[in-house]
Amino acid sequence: MADAPVPLVKANTGGLRTGQYHTGPCEDNYKFGRTLGKGSFATVKLATCKEDGSKWAIKVIDKRALNQEDKEALQVECDTMMQVNHDNIVRLKEVYDNNNNFYMVLEICSGGELFDRIVEMEKYSEADARFAFAQMTEAVGHCHKLNIVHRDLKPENLLYAGALPNMTLKLADFGLAQIVTAHKHLHTACGTPGYVAPEILMGEEYDKEVDMWSLGVILYILLCGFPPFYEEHTPELFKIIKKGEYDFPSPYWDDISDGAKDLVKKLLVVDPKKRFTAADVFTHAWMEDKSDSSGKTLVHFQGNLRKYNAKRKFKGAIEGVMMANMLQRVLKAGARAAAEKIQEKQSPKNSASPKKVEAEGAAAEAGGAPAAEAPAAPAPAETAEKPAAAAAEDVPPTPVPADATIAA
């Protein structure tokens, strides 16, 4: 008789319920079709439920490739996705835990990514931006009410449920999500460089406010077609993010309403305590704007977004891991500098610190500021890369072409 499978995750740990956790063969209930995505640790398959004929995207994870940290991250991902229940969030229906593989049965989003959809629209206005932004804010607000921080909000994780005319937007990929409590604070260095909040780069403890910063970045792009923070070199990008340095350049922002600009300003606030919450967003006047001007076509938007979208995908394909590693190096340099500052305070004023040169060298290698200017970090930052079970470079969320068919 075959040995019982060693459980990868546990039910009843906060979100994953017993009825949604199975140890039997996934193939007993689903007919697998073609491969939608494949990486080092997981494969996404299109599948049909044998009971009702419904279509699902099943993420098949190789358990043998996971270390303990990966397994813990997968537990959190399953728990968070099972807790959420919202029309604007991708649904995790159930999981199957077998000897060698772990299966996640996920809702299919066949309408493509947010930016891919809107860049092809014949006409695009502030009203269109508002409609998309309201949906993603609803999703994030729902997560925050459950004390869930997504930590990786970006266009690749915002998917349309179906092809036009379906305009329902879904938040996907909870691979970096965490549940926060009064006794559990976050300090892991993670996220996507252009969308990451200043407090993460500064090595500080952080909370749900990091998601609101990322939403501010996305709203800025939704209005003009390019990001508020941009530098070719990642260390320079981090510097301007930490300072919150951005503007509304002419002519691209000339036709954007003052209300839209004001909401961006309320979100891209360096001090997280002064940053708008999801609830605050819906009290802002721009979210209720019904004026004729809000339907005016944004003439510069399409061209800007088309260029940015192409560059974003190209850079993401070849530099994703490199940028994550750079985030890690910059934060470690900051941690070394913090240790140096503590050592200096504990030493006589006129004594030279033997590790000062080492800290400055680490910061310089990372492309950051000298040790005296580096951000203080309470502890060496953890990895900036996703766990293997949820690596963005391994398997994309679950977009499926609108004409998806099941392989014979």
Mean pLDDT, residues 348-357 taken together: 38
Q: Give me the pLDDT at residue 37, please.
A: 85
DSSP states along 119-146: TT-SS-BHHHHHHHHHHHHHHHHHHHHT
Higher pLDDT, 276 or 176: 276
Mean pLDDT, residues 231-249 taken together: 92
Residue 342 in this model has a pLDDT that exceeds 90: no
Q: Are residues 237 and 90 in the same domain?
A: no
Q: Give me the pLDDT at residue 70, please.
A: 87
Q: Are residues 147 and 214 in the same domain?
A: yes
Q: Are residues 98 and 133 in the same domain?
A: no
Half-sphere exposure of 314 (CA within 13 A, CB side): 6
CA–CA dist 91, 89 (Å, integer): 6
Q: Are residues 129 and 84 in the same domain?
A: no
- Burial class of residue 290 in the structure, from the number of CB atoms within 10 Å of its CB (0-12 exposed, 13-18 middle, 19+ buried): exposed
pLDDT in tens, 166-211: 999 999 999 889 888 766 778 777 878 899 999 999 988 999 999 9
> Strands 101-106, 148-149: parallel, antiparallel or unpaired by DSSP?
unpaired
12 belongs to a structural domain: no
Predicted TM-score (pTM) of this structure: 0.75
Residue 242 in this model has a pLDDT that exceeds 70: yes
Output phi, psi for 170, to 5 deg: -125, 135
Which residue, of 59, 75, 106, is where some domain finishes?
A: 106
112 belongs to a structural domain: no
Confidence of residue 400 (pLDDT cuts 50, 70, 90): very low
Domain of 128 in residue numbering reads as 123-401
Which residue, of 106, 136, 170, is where some domain finishes?
A: 106
CATH code for the domain of 48: 3.30.200.20
179 belongs to a structural domain: yes
CA 150 to chain CA centroid, nearest Å: 6
The one catalytic residue in 152, 173, 211, 394 is 152
Confidence of residue 345 (pLDDT cuts 50, 70, 90): very low
Is residue 59 marked as binding? yes
Identify whether 152 is a catalytic site residue. yes
Q: Are residues 87 and 137 in the same domain?
A: no
On whether the CB atoms of residues 213 and 154 are closer than 8 A, the answer is no
Residues near 216 by beta carbon (within 8 Å), at least 6 away in sequence? 228, 264, 266, 267, 268, 275
Q: Are residues 392 and 327 in the same domain?
A: yes
137 belongs to a structural domain: yes
For residue 235, say if its preceding peptide bond is cis, omega within 30 degrees of 0.
no
368 belongs to a structural domain: yes
Which residue, of 78, 106, 134, is where some domain finishes?
A: 106
Q: Are residues 182 and 296 in the same domain?
A: yes
Higher pLDDT, 63 or 10: 63
246 belongs to a structural domain: yes
114 belongs to a structural domain: no
336 belongs to a structural domain: yes
> Strands 101-106, 55-62: parallel, antiparallel or unpaired by DSSP?
antiparallel
The structural domain count of the chain equals 2
Q: Are residues 324 and 388 in the same domain?
A: yes
Q: Of all helices (H) and strands (E), which one includes residue 118? A: helix 114-118
Q: Are residues 83 and 142 in the same domain?
A: no
Q: Are residues 155 and 25 in the same domain?
A: no
User: 3-class SS at 250?
Assistant: coil
Q: Are residues 360 and 216 in the same domain?
A: yes
Q: Are residues 100 and 239 in the same domain?
A: no
CATH code for the domain of 138: 1.10.510.10
Please give the span between the terminal C-alpha atoms of the chain, in angstroms, as a whole number: 32
CA–CA dist 215, 37 (Å, integer): 27
Residue 147 in this model has a pLDDT that exceeds 90: yes
